[in-house]
């Protein structure tokens, strides 16, 4: 388990993190979200002791130290592979920094290449691989030593949907292995799908912290999805409807002034009969992100 308590960080006279508190549990995935420049990367660098900070960061109830680096896997936002090395040479070099022997790396690397469906051989030079496959190689180097704490900064950046799904499967496998996983992403649908918990930083301040479903439910069941023969103008006149649109799938999305109006609308539409689609939900994490990112927390 990783725990961050009262974390503050300044660069000179400019403070960039303000009293950050959260924890990431073993066998769970925590999503770290925020606008560009909100402090996410600085938070990662603080956890890894790349920068000095004020506060306390512990891993499994002890202060993070150099001895813990072998149990950490970090994928930085800025990818950094050496193009003239072969895949085996590159991964072996990075894995050696975590205490792995080259013969063990060579054995395990073949399995990882298959698992991530890398198009290439371990003898290929990095520069001969596509950008997506290079990214997979860096992820392999991050995970091959089976770290207990995994930090992934924008792991899906630049990948096509097929490869995003491959990476998601690997992340979930690492969760089942019991690793503590933190990743950042600008695609809130990925965070909703993968994460148990979410932390949001805005202007260096903690503005969201909790289980994903609990965070969403705290904003109320104010989104309603219905399928009806009524026209859009009639739908907008239903009780408590603040806004309504007709989506391309033929389902109306309604924004309600209060979740309590859902029951009234159900009675109005159903008359005690079957409704093909009636789904009342809280705002998506994407909507909540936009709402909180627009607030001034300074």
Q: What is the pLDDT of residue 273?
A: 87
Mean pLDDT of the 113-120 span: 94
Structural domains in the chain? 2-213 (3.40.50.300), 220-281 (3.30.70.330)
* DSSP reduced 3-state for 230: coil
DSSP H stretches of helix in the chain: 40-47, 87-96, 102-115, 131-143, 161-177, 188-194, 212-217, 232-236, 261-270, 285-293
pLDDT at 296 over 80: no
pLDDT at 51 over 60: yes
% the chain with pLDDT above 70: 99
Q: What is the pLDDT of residue 245?
A: 97
* DSSP reduced 3-state for 241: strand
CA–CA gap between residue 247 and residue 139 (Å, rounded): 37
pLDDT band at 154 (very low <50, low <70, confident <90, very high): very high
Is residue 88 packed enough to be buried (19+ CB in 10 Å), middle (13-18) or exposed (0-12)?
middle
pLDDT at 78 over 90: no
CA torsion, ordered 220, 210, 39, 175, to nearest 10 deg: -120
Name the DSSP letter for residue 126: G
CA–CA gap between residue 140 and residue 95 (Å, rounded): 10
């Amino acid at each position: 388990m990783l725990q961050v308590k009262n974390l503050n960080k300044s660069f000179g006279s400019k403070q960039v993190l303000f009293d950050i508190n959260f924890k990431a549990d073993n066998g769970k995935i925590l999503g770290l979200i925020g606008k560009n420049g909100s402090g996410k990367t600085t938070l990662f660098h603080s956890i890894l002791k790349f920068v000095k900070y004020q506060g306390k960061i512990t891993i499994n109830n002890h202060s993070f130290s150099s001895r813990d680096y072998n149990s950490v896997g970090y994928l930085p936002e800025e990818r950094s592979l050496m193009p003239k090395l072969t895949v085996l040479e590159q991964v072996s070099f990075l894995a050696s920094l975590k205490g792995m022997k080259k013969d063990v790396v060579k054995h395990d690397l073949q399995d990882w290449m298959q698992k991530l469906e890398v198009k290439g051989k371990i003898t290929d030079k990095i520069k001969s691989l596509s950008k997506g496959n290079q990214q997979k190689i860096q992820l392999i180097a991050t995970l091959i030593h089976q770290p207990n704490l995994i930090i992934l900064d924008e792991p899906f950046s630049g990948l096509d949907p097929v490869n995003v799904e491959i990476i998601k499967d690997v992340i979930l496998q690492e969760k089942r292995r019991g690793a503590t996983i933190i990743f950042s992403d600008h695609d809130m649908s990925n965070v909703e799908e993968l994460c148990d918990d979410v932390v949001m930083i805005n202007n260096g301040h903690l503005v969201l912290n909790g289980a994903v479903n609990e965070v969403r439910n705290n904003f109320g069941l104010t989104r309603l999805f219905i399928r009806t023969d009524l026209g859009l103008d009639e739908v907008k006149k239903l009780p408590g409807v603040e806004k309504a649109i007709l989506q391309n799938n033929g389902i109306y999305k309604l924004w309600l002034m209060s979740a309590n109006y859902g029951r009234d609308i159900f009675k109005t539409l159903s008359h005690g009969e079957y409704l093909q689609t009636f789904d009342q939900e809280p705002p998506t994490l994407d909507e909540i992100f936009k709402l909180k990112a627009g607030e001034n927390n300074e």
